[in-house]
Every structure is written in C-alpha cells, then in structure tokens.
Structure 1
Amino acid sequence: MRKLMIPVLVVGLVLMLMSLFVIPEGERGIVIRFGRVLKDNNEIARIYEPGLHFKMPLFDKVKTLDAKIQTMDGRSDRFVTSEKKDVLIDSYVKWRIEDFGQYYLATGGGNAGTAQTLLGRKVTDVLRSEIGAREIKQIVSGPRNNDILPDSADSEEVTTEAAKEALEVDGERDIIMKNVLNGTRKDAMEDLGIHIVDFRMKKINLPDSINQSIYNRMRAERESVARQFRSQGREQAEVIRAQAELEVATILAEADKTARVTRGGADAQAAKIYAEAYNKDPEFFSFVRSLRAYEESFSDKSDILVLDPNSEFFQYMNKASGIAAK
C-alpha cells in the first residue's frame, strides 16, 4: 500500500503543478482548450489578470499576451498628393490589445508581427486617402496662426496679394493625423481587437527626383513675397523722407521769416537812432560818418585812391587846421 501511495502522491503533485500558471505583470492570459478560447457566461473570452491561476492540466494551454502600449514604427512609404506629387511619409502608431480573444483569433495565435502587418495596412489605406485629397503645402504645414494676419487698415494696405496667399495657407497635418486615428480605430477594434491610442506622422520627405524643383519653386515664391515687401518698404521710406523734407523746409522758412522780421526791426530801430542823432547835431553826425568813410577807404595800404584834394570827400581834412585852432 505504501508503495502505491508514493507514485500517487508524485502524480498528484505533478498534476497540481501542471494546473498552476502565473501571469506576469503587464501581461494578460487566455486559456486555450482543444483549440478554442475559453469564454465566460457572456461568451466573452476569459481574461486572466497578473497573478497565480489554475487550469486543467494536459487539456488547457495558456497564452500570455502583452497588455502594455506598443509602438508600430514602420518604414516610410510613398504617397501621391492631389497635385500628383509623390511624398515619403514616416509614421508610427501607438496601440494596445483591448479584446484579447479577438486578437488571438485574428492574428493566428497572438502573433505580434501579424498584428502589426494587418494594422499597418489599415493605417496606410486611410492615410493614402487623406494624402490624396490634399496638396503638399497643406500636408507639411500645421494650422495657420491667425495672430500673424493683419488686423488694421494700414496693415491691410501693406499686405500684398502674394503675402496674403502665403499667409492663408492653412496646413492640415493635424487634421490628417486625427482623421487617420478616427478612421482606423473602429476597424482595428472590430477586426483585430486592438485599440489605437495614437497616430503620428514623424517625417515628411520629397523624393530626390523632385526635391530640387520643389525647393526652387518655394524659394521663388518666398523671394517674390520678399520683393513685394521690400518695394513697399522703399515706398514708405520715400513717403517718410518727403514728409521729413517738407517739415525741414517749413521750419527753415519760418526761421528765415522770423530772422528777416527781426533784422528789419533792428534796421528800422538803427535808422531811427541815426535819424535822431542827425537831428540833434547834423554837423557832428556828418563828421563821424566822414571819419568812418576815411577809415574804410584807407584801411588797405595797397589801394590807390585818385581824387581831387579840393573835393567834398576831403572837406574835414582840409578843415583840420581850422577845427584844431578852434
């Protein structure tokens, strides 16, 4: 009897160990029995949370699936815009398993590579449709910042047609990513049991064959806008310069007017003083004026003055002895 108990205990211990399984943290488990996923009373796959669980030995097989958010970072793909131009877009998708039973069945036993392949096709199809409905400048740009648009009458006059066209390019990159996220989320959940957390376009490139032509056209457009602004700047500079010159001319005219009025008043006052002095003593006034004339006439020794000594110019010189005698 004792000999039978030892094998029975060993078999029992082995069966007990085979019936235990552990789900690690960050993962979920499903049990496969005879090739079918075990379900609960609501016909939903029974999900085993992290921890210790039991199963039927020999008949049940445990499949652990990653429950964390995963990243599908594929290679860049070629898309065609509404302008029939090719663009190379590199994107990534953040996703996690939501319906583990559906995921297991749809991916052939929970194969992550198969899941990413199927999910990548869905994302690419929606992204291709979004890219095909837009131009390159809409794809590579984000939403327009309305703060840079002119809001005053003066600014509206300065803004040229080319500048307006450049400012009114409303990029739809964020709209594209949002549409792809919403467009693939429902199908991915129904078909694969996957919940798409986020979708982003990392890089948008142009093929080498058309890179240079696109850059040249963009440069020409920017240079056209720059020339428009420069010409308007020169026009404004001429207006400001003309106004400044007008103000300078006005100030100088007013200053000259004031100077002439002041000078005229001073000359009038000097003439009045001279007239009063002449009226008081005409003889003395005439004498002083003659002395000044002598001083100015004989100031330069190199000058030669030819006059009659008995002329009126020398009257006070001829009378010098008489004046001195008096």
Structure 2
Amino acid sequence: KGREFIWVDTTARWRIADAKKFLESVATEAGAQSRLNDIIDSVVRDQVSGSELVELVRSASWVVPEGEILEEVPAEVREELKKQVSRGREELTRNVLVEARKVIPQYGIELVDVRIKRLNYVESVREKVYARMISERKRIAAKFRSEGEGRSAEILGTMEKELRQIRSGAYRRAQEIRGKADAGATRVYGDAYSGDPEFYAFSRTLEAYREGQNKDSVLILTTDSDYYRYLKQAARPARAGR
C-alpha cells in the first residue's frame, strides 16, 4: 500500500500431478518453471500491493517485548513497531498459495508450497533509506556527544572548584604558619632587645649590611649617619694601632 517499491524473492515447491496435461501444456521442466514464475509473480504482486510493509515482515501474533524499543528510535518508527497488524507474512503466503493453486492445475502441476525468502527495497529506495539511517545515526551520535561534552564541562567545573578550594585552604594555612613564624620572630627580637638593646641594634645593623649590599654596591654616607656608626667605631681601633 505504501508508495515505496520493494523487491520480493519467493521460492516454491511443486510436482507433476497430471503427466498428460503437463506434456501438452508446458512440455518440459524449464517450461513449467517459466509458467510458474509468471503465475506466482503475478499473485505475489497483487498480494503485496494490497498489504502494508509491516505485514510482509511481521507475523500477526508477534508483539514487541516491553523495554526493547529504544528511546533513540524515531517516534514514527516506534509507532510502527507497536502497530497491530491484521494479517502477517504467514497469512499472505497462504493467500499466495491459494490464489496460485486456482490457475496451476490446468498445466498438470500441483503447487505444494510458496515461501517468501527475502524482502528488500529497490536500489533507488535503498539509497534513501540508507541516507535516512545515516542521518538518524548522526543525530543520535550528536546527542551523545553533546551529553558527553556537558558532562565533561560539569566534571571540569567541579574539579576547578575543588582545586580553588584546595589552593585557598593551602594559602590560608601558609599565611597562618607565616603569621605564627613572624610572631615568633618578633617575640625573639623583642626578648633580645629587652636583654641587650645595644647588641640587638648591632646585630640588626650587621644584618642590614649583609642584606642591603653586594660587591658592586656604592654607598654615600655622612660620618654622623647611624648606618655608618658601627663602621666608624670599627675603624678607630685600626687607626690607633697604626
């Protein structure tokens, strides 16, 4: 009944029922085979043209098991799978056998059985079907890819958030440790200053000399500068010795 052309391959079993009629009408096995092909092809064409494609593929008693219809299958295909058929392939082949048997006896032949071996679209329709299948597969692949990219972005976002939390916690911990260390150093410096202010000043000045100068440093100081005070005091014994 559809507007798409299909190719139907059938097979039949037959035997000679009346040898006289057989010899008078078809004479040879090849002649009988040719006549049978014409008759069966005509009957099959009539039966197929009046049937839905799903009726040629399925049996009338077959029901789609629950859970076997994939969500990715297009809605129209899902509806086609769920469709109840009034007659299936078995009934169609029986009808072909009945209709062909009405004509064949005049040739001295008994038609034993007819079966549909294969169904397929014609070449032009197959190309369209394949293109539609490819398009559908690409759509499903794009859907999975989009879902995967969304999930990837979600995972990366969570990872970045956790990484920021770890870095923030580590920085806060480092600052706490540094603060405690600075407080301890300040306390030590305070104790040293309280015990001997002059030595503390001397020690801090030497530290300033070490950290604030290198071999290429050039200092311009007045003789009464606090920074120069210990250098000046160290130079006096040297001059006295000379």
TM range (shorter): 0.5 to 0.7
CA distance in 2 between partners of 1:281 and 1:166 (Å) = 96
1:10 matched to which residue of 2? none
CA distance in 2 between partners of 1:228 and 1:307 (Å) = 77
2:150 matched to which residue of 1? 235
Aligned length: 215
1:272 matched to which residue of 2? 187
1:309 matched to which residue of 2? 223
TM-score of the pair, normalised by structure 2: 0.64
1:129-208 to 2 correspondences below 5 Å: 129-130=50-51, 133-134=52-53, 149=70, 164-165=74-75, 168=78, 170=81, 177-185=89-97, 193-196=110-113, 198-201=115-118, 204-208=120-124
Q: Is the 8 A contact 1:127 1:176 kept in 2?
A: no
Q: Is the 8 A contact 2:47 2:96 kept in 1?
A: yes
More strand per residue:
1
Helix, strand or coil at the partner of 2:220: coil
Deviation at 1:176? 5.7
Residue 122 in structure 1 maps to residue 43 in structure 2: yes
CA distance in 2 between partners of 1:214 and 1:149 (Å) = 19
CA distance in 1 between partners of 2:182 and 2:42 (Å) = 102
CA distance in 2 between partners of 1:166 and 1:285 (Å) = 92
Unaligned runs of 5+ residues in structure 1 are: 1-80, 98-102, 151-158
Greater relative contact order structure (CA < 8 Å, 6+ sep) = 2
Helix, strand or coil at the partner of 1:194: strand
2:9 matched to which residue of 1? 91
Q: 1:182 to 1:260 in 2, by over 3 A?
A: farther
Helix, strand or coil at the partner of 1:319: helix
2:60 matched to which residue of 1? none
Deviation at 1:119? 3.9
CA distance in 2 between partners of 1:197 and 1:220 (Å) = 37
CA distance in 2 between partners of 1:115 and 1:212 (Å) = 32
1:230-309 to 2 correspondences below 5 Å: 230-301=145-216, 303-309=217-223
Cα RMSD for the two superposed structures: 4.3
Deviation at 1:255? 1.7
CA distance in 2 between partners of 1:85 and 1:167 (Å) = 16
CA distance in 2 between partners of 1:239 and 1:230 (Å) = 14
1:43-62 to 2 correspondences below 5 Å: none
TM-score of the pair, normalised by structure 1: 0.50
Deviation at 1:148? 7.6
Deviation at 1:219? 4.5
More helix per residue:
2
CA distance in 1 between partners of 2:229 and 2:126 (Å) = 104
Q: Is the 8 A contact 1:188 1:196 kept in 2?
A: no
Residue 104 in structure 1 maps to residue 17 in structure 2: yes
Larger deviation, residues 275-284 vs 248-257: 275-284
Unaligned runs of 5+ residues in structure 2 are: 27-31, 58-62
CA distance in 2 between partners of 1:252 and 1:166 (Å) = 53
Partner deviation per Cα, 1:285-325 (whole Å, 9 max, x = no partner): 22111111122233242x33222211222222233367899
Q: 1:233 to 1:321 in 2, by over 3 A?
A: closer
2:234 matched to which residue of 1? 320
